[in-house]
Amino acid sequence: MAPPPEHRRPIKRAAISDQQRRREVALRLQADRRSDAQNRARQLASSVLSLGHEPETEPEVEQEQEMSDASGQLSGRTDLDPVRAARLRGPEVRRWFARQLMLPEWMVDVPPLLDRDWYVFPRPSGKRCFVVSSNGTTISRLRNGSILHRFPSNLPNGARTKDVSGPASSYSILDCIFHEPDETYYVIDMVCWRGYSLYDCTAEFRFFWLNSKLSETGASDPPSQYHRYRFNVVQIYECNLAGLQASYSGQVPYVKDGLLFFNKHAHYQAGNTPLALVWKDNVCSQYVLDTDSKGQIPSQQQVVLELQNDGNLTTFDDPPVALGSLSRDLIAQSGLQVGNLVRVAIRDDSVRLVDGKLDLGELQLVGKTNHSRAFADTYSKVLFQHAARHAPLRIEDLVASIQSNSSMDNSQASDVEMEG
């Protein structure tokens, strides 16, 4: 019996070589981890911290997570040593996440050049969250950092399916609103795609990327076994008259909650930013005025502020803005501690705008907020709510602003032509 020709392996002897497999697996893991390490560095370089090996832990849903320490470190993304941040685990991850969303300010006056520099779209009503897909799972996290869902999806590396292109650990991060009635994630921004950071890209580029990439993955397909929730993009408009009109009164497949405005040139910036704005009125939102803890609209405006150790009550801004204070007696009496979020009522007649700054005057303590609340109100929200009750910014004002912009354009254009 002669041996088989050199290159011909007998079909029955096509023995598995587990040793060869172990060797290959080790080499592949090394290569993957190297490219992870290098990509991580690239993302850090793009000023996003790595979240790559976060999700392996617990699915526990800690709605109760206290975020009391968050407001003091609003600028945490730059304060924290990036390399250390990449190794965060468990609650630290949640805390870190909680600071990563870009939070629009409330529109209290109309920014200039709205039609030239801004996008507008109707905001879906629902839970704002970060969706991260990597290593075969997709995890959505609410603004307070707690997990909303853990599920398989068609996002890159979002499910344990065989046909993955590229390292399983490269991840994608989407900024979404989860809309309960149709169980759909509406994607309002793209932060990271297949390991590539879009943090330092303009909104214009991010939206372009979002629209072209998401459809490639099948993430917008109807739910199936390996794709638990559908991801839809929202229609984004240039903020000209037609775009504003379409956003304001056009039909959308979801419940609207106001309008979002994004400055085209702005990068994705964690925390509050005036380069993204939210605005609403009764036509485009069911919830213009804030409700209290029982879901009722209180007769007096209520705001949530954070108690500082000097007794001041501050907003969730960077730096925090003090809007009033509580006396030591009252603090002791009501068992409040530094860092607690407290709900206070404003007496309308005592509010004053001094040099464009809000002075709330006398504050009336309503109580502590419930535990799932992670942040105090922002200054712009307090202002917007106040305006909404007294002199709201109306859709007509927005329209007027756009019209005046375009007429200004005309006048500038004719300036150039007049040479005399």
Interhelix angle for 395-417 vs 241-249, to 10°?
Answer: 170
Q: Is residue 23 a contact point for other proteins (CB under 8 A)?
A: yes
| Number of CB atoms found within 10 A of residue 146's CB | 20
Min dist. Cβ of residue 375 to other proteins (A): 29
Q: Is residue 6 a contact point for other proteins (CB under 8 A)?
A: no
Smallest Cα–Cα separation from 403: which of 203, 110, 107? 110
The bridge status of strand 184-193 relative to strand 230-233 is: parallel
Q: HEC profile for 15-56?
A: CCCHHHHHHHHHHHHHHHHHHHHHHHHHHHHCCCCCCCCCCC
Task: Classify residue 84 as exposed, middle or buried by CB count within 10 Å of its CB (0-12, 13-18, 19+).
Answer: exposed
- Pair 378, 315: CB distance under 8 Å: yes
Q: Is residue 81 a contact point for other proteins (CB under 8 A)?
A: no
Region from 9-17, 227-235, 288-296, 329-337 binding other proteins, contact rule CB under 8 A: 9-17
Residue window 161-180: x/- pattern of binding to other proteins, with contact defined by CB under 8 A: xx--xx--------------
Region from 41-49, 64-72, 324-332, 399-407 binding other proteins, contact rule CB under 8 A: 41-49
Of 189 and 257, the one with the shorter C-beta distance to other proteins is 189
Q: Is residue 84 a contact point for other proteins (CB under 8 A)?
A: no
Q: Is residue 27 a contact point for other proteins (CB under 8 A)?
A: yes
Q: Is residue 11 a contact point for other proteins (CB under 8 A)?
A: yes
Of 27 and 283, the one with the shorter C-beta distance to other proteins is 27
Min dist. Cβ of residue 198 to other proteins (A): 9
Q: Which secondary-structure segment (H or E) carries 419?
A: none
**What are the residue ranges of helices labelled H in 99-198?**
114-117
- Could you check whether the bond before residue 223 is cis, i.e. omega within 30 degrees of 0? no
Q: Is residue 56 a contact point for other proteins (CB under 8 A)?
A: yes
Q: Is residue 347 a contact point for other proteins (CB under 8 A)?
A: no
Question: For binding to other proteins (CB under 8 A), which residues are involved?
Answer: 1-5, 8-13, 15-16, 18-19, 22-23, 25-27, 29-30, 33-34, 37-38, 41-42, 44-46, 56-58, 160-162, 165-166, 193-194, 196, 200-201, 209, 216
